[in-house]
């Protein structure tokens, strides 16, 4: 048992540096090109779930011509089953601030914002205190980079970057049309880098350890480690930092309760992997990507209920502006209910699967596009549970 | 000139300017990608997703209205993938929509309906969501009916209200499955800042926003032998009505319109243009009077600049937004209401009719006119001055109901009295028209000479869309009684669309404007782009209507309001003089300050 244990990593929550803000102070002295090169070399991809290469995002924003630019930390952690950013912000806020400041230096931004989900309001006093100290320290380093915290108002959609900008600007949280992308037209229409909380921490650790050591963790396509939020039918729920690229069966071996029938990887917008596919599933960008949420379900769970629950969530959390997402979510939920009740024949599920495919390619933003992930993976793998 | 962008659409190469959307690039190739939330007048929303296309090497299908063409793009507008997705989207919209088409006012002129027929929907692909929705209908308003069960949430109305009109009476409320278009705290339209301009009605692709129609009431009046039914027609109707009856935009159909109204059974077919001329006299004298009070009497109370008052949506806008500037509004009623007041007094007298048996109907390019006619102050004849207001669209419905082939109708003339008008009245229908008409008269009254412009065309005040037009005119060689205006540079400003009106009035409020005379029309392009005009209305169509209006003006034998012999007769026999006692009683009004919320 003990030899099969997954390697624990201590990068995110590990020591920042022996003296306060040393990594930041050292990095601020480096040339922007060198910082970007290290990031590129590290292969770091965004930790919010979509996995956009961080160095490329920063480069695009750095190259965008504008006197005003912004760095935004997306702390609107709303994906069901994800609770790692809360932990990161409460345990290592300095790493988050430092990562943002480094980004500010590289892209030439004057200001940073942390968009904190309203449910994390309780973190505010501590974060504010820490920010004061941070401002003091960074002032001494001769770099002016104020960071401000903006609170969300409880909408899942505001975790989508352009909806987040709208929300910060005081409008309804609705995703914008893309292109243009945030790196050229972000917050207030200015070039903006928006990264997940964990991404900024990774940047700091890459700066501290160097890309070579960072790359020792993970696989070619998924470098580094990841903080996982483990929940569901597990005897040991909680936050775990693990290497990326692990096979799912080893994960289940360690965290399952011996009766795991499925793992939902990546929350409600992620994929459901059934037992028979555990062995062939890699957690990482080459396999099933995740923003950190790992939900385990044992055989006592009805996957119909699980799916119904997700669809309920999406139906309500869709911003409602685009047709595929607003109406599609309603149709999918009502559709599975109708099949379950026998109002519709089992074949209707195929119709719904096709609809979910259309949603995936036509919805305006990631929310509507990703509903099909859980829908098709649950319906396809647990069809009998949907019907009987 | 920046570099062209080359892309391929359905196998055809095309070069476009940077920033051109895929939708526009396709239109260049005469490939029409279906759209719903897209409207030429509005900013791109990209939310209905009907216009999706396939882009090679892209995981998703981009919305062509919202996606700029990029170098080397390969686009397919009609691939299998696109067809399936598009049909899904239309089916989804239908599943949320009360598709009771035969009971819908927009039956036959509904963009969703035509899309549905194009897509061959009808196989009930998805569940009907309507029974579970608790849709409401707001029908407590004089002008506009809002039926949420027909709404497809394209937000054209929201964008119209905010971008074109800066009113924002309509906005998006709630989210997800509960998302809807609503008002401030979901109050009915008559309780919010809505100006009844109807621009939303004109852009609604379905029957969710429609005018409150009075077609049946008007038929009843016509059929009632005891009633003498008089109809007046606004200047902008005669250059747009044809569009609603199958003719191309920009046709002048005055004569056919008069014939059709006579055949519908109206007892007298008269012209709002008559009172437009009258408005010019009253308003012109009012302006001169205000200038005199300011320049000669040095009266600190006099409100200058003076603003025109013929656009009822503009008036309600001012009542809500700048109630402290209401004294700046001319006290003149709009031509419609002057007409209404005179029909039941002067006309009744002349024709020896009992005003209680008179029914006065107006045909307007406007929805706000319905609200205006219902205002409590619009009863100065002792009766409701205007009983029913029909939009251009409603008239087209009546003509169709009566089985007339409109384009084949012969032409005829307005009846008299109150049927005669000048070119100055015709141009009331376009932005800058009232200003031009007023200057033609005021200048001549004050100096005894015609305005110094070729063919009386005062082009500097001819406003265009999307701008605030400023102009000035030096007054010299005044008649002795108007000596106080000698050397005065009359400063004018013309704006159309309430968003631009707001800019002008904010300047006035801030004291940054030294205008004398302001003309505001609530709708883009003026009345010719009114909320009651045929659907569709867009920039291109408005341009054609504008051209038609100026053509009509040029073709009129008389082109100055004060030359209208029937107006002269009216003053001689009834009103005695401009701004006189009778005028004040019948032709002038007051306004009501309203709250923003």
pLDDT tens-place string over residues B416-431: 999 999 999 999 999 9
Helix, strand, or coil (residue B495) = strand
Q: Do B126 and A335 touch (CB under 8 A)?
A: yes
For B90, residues 6+ apart whose C-beta sits below 8 A from its C-beta are: B50, B112, B115, B116, B119, B121
B85–chain A Cβ distance below 8 A for any pair: yes
CB-CB contact of B76 with B61 (8 Å): no
Taking the C-alpha atoms of residue B217 and residue B222, their distance in angstroms, rounded to an integer, is 9
Q: Do A157 and B172 touch (CB under 8 A)?
A: no
User: Could you check whether A22-215 and A303-387 share the same CATH topology?
Assistant: no
Q: Do A362 and B175 touch (CB under 8 A)?
A: no
Interface with chain B: mutation pick from A158, A329, A349, A361, highest number of B CBs within 10 Å? A361
Beta-carbon pairs below 8 A across chains A and B: 116
The CA-based dihedral angle spanning residues B576, B577, B582, B586, taken in that order and rounded to the nearest 10 degrees:
120
Interface with chain B: mutation pick from A179, A352, A358, highest number of B CBs within 10 Å? A358
**CA B150 distance to own-chain centroid:** 23
Question: DSSP string spanning B351-414?
Answer: HT--GGGEEEEEEES-SHHHHHHHSTT--TTSS-S--EEEEHHHHHHHHHHTT--GGGPPP-PP
What's the pLDDT tens digit per position in B61-110?
999 999 999 999 999 999 999 999 999 999 999 999 999 999 999 999 99
Q: What is the CA radius of gyration of chain A?
A: 21
What's the pLDDT tens digit per position in B371-410?
999 999 999 999 999 999 999 999 999 999 999 999 999 9
Taking the C-alpha atoms of residue B427 and residue B440, their distance in angstroms, rounded to an integer, is 12
Segments in A117-223 forming alpha helices (H): 124-140, 161-168, 197-209, 211-215
A185–chain B Cβ distance below 8 A for any pair: no
Contacts of A324 in chain B (CB under 8 A): 49, 88-89, 92
CB-CB contact of B9 with B26 (8 Å): yes
How much is the pLDDT for A2?
Answer: 43
Taking the C-alpha atoms of residue B397 and residue B402, their distance in angstroms, rounded to an integer, is 9
**CA-based nearest residue in chain B for residue A361:** B60
Name the token pair of A61: 């924003």
What is the ipTM score, two decimals? Answer: 0.94
Residues of chain A with pLDDT under 70: 1-4
How much is the pLDDT for A14?
Answer: 85
How much is the pLDDT for A18?
Answer: 73
Q: Do A320 and B81 touch (CB under 8 A)?
A: no
Percent of chain B with pLDDT over 90: 96
Domain boundaries, chain A: 22-215, 225-298, 303-387
Active site residue B551: no
For A311, residues 6+ apart whose C-beta sits below 8 A from its C-beta are: A329, A332, A333, A336, A371, A375
pLDDT band at B122 (very low <50, low <70, confident <90, very high): confident
Taking residue A70's Cβ as centre, other Cβ atoms within 10 Å add up to: 25
**CA-based nearest residue in chain B for residue A318:** B176
Q: Cα angle at B568 between B565 and B572, to 5 degrees?
A: 135
**CA-based nearest residue in chain A for residue B125:** A351
Q: Is B352 exposed, middle or buried (0-12, 13-18, 19+ CB in 10 A)?
A: exposed
A317–chain B Cβ distance below 8 A for any pair: yes
Q: Please check the confidence at residue B1 and state whether its pLDDT lies above 80.
A: no
Residue A123: which of A182, A55, A77 has the closest Cα?
Answer: A77
Tell me if the domain spanning A225-298 has CATH number 1.20.120.430.
no
How much is the pLDDT for A4?
Answer: 55
Closest Cβ–Cβ partner in B85, B152, B172 for A358 = B85
Q: Angle of helix B80-96 relative to helix B111-118, nearest 10 degrees?
A: 140
Taking the C-alpha atoms of residue B508 and residue B570, their distance in angstroms, rounded to an integer, is 36
Q: Do A338 and B127 touch (CB under 8 A)?
A: yes
Contacts of B50 in chain A (CB under 8 A): 323
Give the helix/strand (H/E) hosting B314.
Answer: helix B312-321
Active site residue B283: yes
Contacts of B175 in chain A (CB under 8 A): 155, 157, 316-320
Closest Cβ–Cβ partner in B45, B61, B125 for A362 = B61
Active site residue B444: no
Residue A175: which of A186, A164, A191 has the closest Cα?
Answer: A164
Query: Distance (Å) from the C-alpha of residue A290 to the closest C-alpha of chain B?
Result: 19
Q: Note the CATH architecture for domain A303-387.
A: Up-down Bundle (1.20)
Helix, strand, or coil (residue B16) = strand
Taking the C-alpha atoms of residue B356 and residue B374, their distance in angstroms, rounded to an integer, is 17
A328–chain B Cβ distance below 8 A for any pair: yes
A331–chain B Cβ distance below 8 A for any pair: yes
Q: Which domains does chain B have, with CATH numbers?
A: 5-78 (3.10.20.740), 103-109+119-210 (3.30.70.20), 215-274+336-408 (3.40.50.1780), 287-333+423-542+552-586 (3.40.950.10)
Taking the C-alpha atoms of residue A36 and residue B289, their distance in angstroms, rounded to an integer, is 73
Q: Do A327 and B93 touch (CB under 8 A)?
A: yes
What's the pLDDT tens digit per position in A313-350?
999 999 999 999 999 999 999 999 999 999 999 999 99
Q: In this predicted model, which residue has the larger pLDDT, A19 or B51? A: B51
Q: Please check the confidence at residue B513 and state whether its pLDDT lies above 50.
A: yes
- Residues forming beta bridges with residue A196, ordered by sequence position: A74
DSSP assignment letter at B146? E
**CA-based nearest residue in chain A for residue B84:** A358
DSSP assignment letter at B21? B
**CA B93 distance to own-chain centroid:** 29
Omega before B417 cis (within 30°)? yes
Taking the C-alpha atoms of residue B457 and residue B440, their distance in angstroms, rounded to an integer, is 9
Taking residue A255's Cβ as centre, other Cβ atoms within 10 Å add up to: 24
Given the residues B51, B197, B310, B523, the one annotated as active site: B310
Interface with chain A: mutation pick from B68, B80, B175, highest number of A CBs within 10 Å? B175
- Cα separation values, B346 from B250, B284, B376, Å: 35, 22, 21
The class that CATH gives domain A22-215 is alpha beta
How much is the pLDDT for A345?
Answer: 96
């Amino acid at each position: 048992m003990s030899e099969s244990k997954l390697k624990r990593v201590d990068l995110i929550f590990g020591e920042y540096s022996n003296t306060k803000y040393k990594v930041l102070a050292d990095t601020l002295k480096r040339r922007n090109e060198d910082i970007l090169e290290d990031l590129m070399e590290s292969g770091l991809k965004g930790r919010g779930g979509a996995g956009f290469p961080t160095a490329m995002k920063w480069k695009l924003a750095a190259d965008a011509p504008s006197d005003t630019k912004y760095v935004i930390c997306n702390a609107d952690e709303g994906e069901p089953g994800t609770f790692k950013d809360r932990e990161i912000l409460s345990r290592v806020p300095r790493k988050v601030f430092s990562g943002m400041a480094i980004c500010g230096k590289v892209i030439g931004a004057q200001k940073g914002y942390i968009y904190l989900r309203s449910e994390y309001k309780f973190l505010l006093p501590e974060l504010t205190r820490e920010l004061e100290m941070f401002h003091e320290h960074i002032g001494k380093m001769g770099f002016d980079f104020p960071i401000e915290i903006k609170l969300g108002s409880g909408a899942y959609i505001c975790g989508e970057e352009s909806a987040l900008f709208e929300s910060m600007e005081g409008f309804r949280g609705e995703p914008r049309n893309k292109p243009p992308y945030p790196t050229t037209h972000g917050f207030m229409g200015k070039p903006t880098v928006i990264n997940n909380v964990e991404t900024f921490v990774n940047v700091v650790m890459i700066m501290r350890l160097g890309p070579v050591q960072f790359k020792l963790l993970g696989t070619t396509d998924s470098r580094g480690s990841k903080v996982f939020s483990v929940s569901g039918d597990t005897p040991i729920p909680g936050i775990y930092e693990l290497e990326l690229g692990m096979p799912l069966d080893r994960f289940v071996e360690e965290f399952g309760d011996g009766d795991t029938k499925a793992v939902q990887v990546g929350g409600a917008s992620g994929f459901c992997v059934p037992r028979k596919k555990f062995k062939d599933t890699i957690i990482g960008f080459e396999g099933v990507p995740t923003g950190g949420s790992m939900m385990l379900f044992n055989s006592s769970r009805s996957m119909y209920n699980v799916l119904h629950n997700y669809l309920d969530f999406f139906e309500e959390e869709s911003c409602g502006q685009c047709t595929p997402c607003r109406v599609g979510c309603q149709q999918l939920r009502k559709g599975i209910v109708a099949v379950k009740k026998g109002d519709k024949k089992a074949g209707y599920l195929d119709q719904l699967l096709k609809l979910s495919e259309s949603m995936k390619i036509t919805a305006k933003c990631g929310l509507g596009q990703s509903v099909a992930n859980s829908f098709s993976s649950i319906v396809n793998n647990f069809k009998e549970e949907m019907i009987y | 000139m920046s570099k062209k962008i080359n892309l391929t659409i359905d196998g055809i190469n095309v070069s476009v300017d940077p920033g051109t959307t895929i939708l526009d690039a396709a239109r260049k190739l005469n490939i029409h990608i279906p759209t719903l939330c897209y409207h030429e007048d509005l900013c791109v929303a990209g939310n209905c997703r009907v216009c999706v296309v396939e882009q090679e090497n892209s995981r998703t299908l981009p919305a062509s209205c919202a996606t700029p063409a990029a170098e080397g793009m390969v686009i397919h507008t009609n691939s299998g993938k696109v067809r399936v997705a598009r049909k899904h989207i239309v089916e989804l919209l239908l599943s949320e929509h009360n598709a009771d088409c035969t009971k819908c006012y927009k039956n036959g002129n509904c963009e969703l309906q035509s899309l549905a027929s194009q897509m061959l929907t009808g196989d009930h692909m998805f569940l009907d969501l309507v029974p579970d929705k608790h849709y409401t209908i707001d029908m407590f308003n004089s002008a506009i009916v809002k039926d949420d069960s027909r709404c497809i949430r394209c937000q054209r109305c929201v964008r119209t209200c905010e971008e074109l009109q800066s009113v924002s009476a309509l906005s998006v409320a709630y989210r997800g499955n509960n998302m809807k278009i609503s008002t401030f705290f979901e109050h009915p339209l008559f309780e919010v800042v809505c100006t009844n301009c109807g621009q939303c009605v004109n852009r609604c692709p379905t029957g969710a926003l429609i005018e409150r129609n009075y077609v049946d009431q008007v038929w009843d009046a016509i059929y009632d032998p005891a009633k003498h039914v008089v109809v007046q027609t606004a200047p902008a109707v005669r250059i747009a009505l044809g569009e609603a009856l199958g003719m191309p935009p920009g046709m002048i159909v005055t004569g056919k319109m008069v014939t059709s109204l006579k055949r519908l059974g109206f007892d007298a077919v008269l012209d709002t243009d008559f009172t437009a001329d009258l408005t010019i006299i009253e308003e012109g004298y009012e302006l001169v009077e205000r200038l005199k009070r300011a320049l000669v009497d040095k009266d600190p109370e006099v409100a200058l600049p003076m603003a025109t008052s013929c656009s009822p949506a503009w008036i309600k806008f001012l009542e809500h937004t700048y109630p402290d500037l209401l004294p700046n509004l001319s006290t003149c009623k709009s031509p419609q209401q002057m007409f209404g007041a005179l029909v039941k007094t002067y006309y009744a007298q002349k024709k020896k009719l009992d005003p209680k048996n008179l029914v006065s109907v107006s045909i307007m390019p406007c929805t706000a006119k319905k609200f205006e006619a219902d205002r409590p102050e619009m009863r100065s004849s002792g009766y409701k001055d205007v009983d029913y207001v029909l939009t251009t669209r409603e008239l087209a419905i009546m003509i169709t109901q009566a089985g007339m082939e409109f384009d084949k109708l012969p032409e005829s003339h307005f009846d008299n009295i109150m049927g005669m008008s000048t070119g100055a009245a015709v141009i009331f229908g376009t932005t800058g028209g009232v200003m031009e008409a007023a200057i033609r008269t005021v200048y001549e009254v004050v100096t005894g000479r015609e305005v110094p412009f070729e063919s009386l065309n005062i082009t500097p005040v001819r406003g265009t869309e999307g701008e605030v037009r400023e102009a000035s005119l030096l007054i010299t060689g005044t008649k002795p009684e108007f000596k106080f205006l000698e050397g005065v540079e009359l400063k004018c400003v013309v704006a159309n669309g309430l968003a631009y009106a707001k800019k002008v009035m904010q300047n006035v409020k801030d004291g940054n404007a030294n205008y004398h005379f302001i003309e505001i029309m609530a709708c883009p392009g003026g009345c010719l782009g009114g909320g009651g005009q045929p659907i569709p209305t867009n920039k291109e169509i408005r341009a054609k209507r504008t051209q038609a209006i100026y053509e009509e003006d040029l073709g009129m034998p008389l082109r100055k309001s004060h030359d209208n012999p029937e107006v002269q007769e009216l003053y001689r026999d009834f009103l005695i003089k401009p701004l006189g006692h009778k005028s004040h009683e019948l032709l002038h009004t007051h306004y009501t300050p309203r709250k923003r919320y």
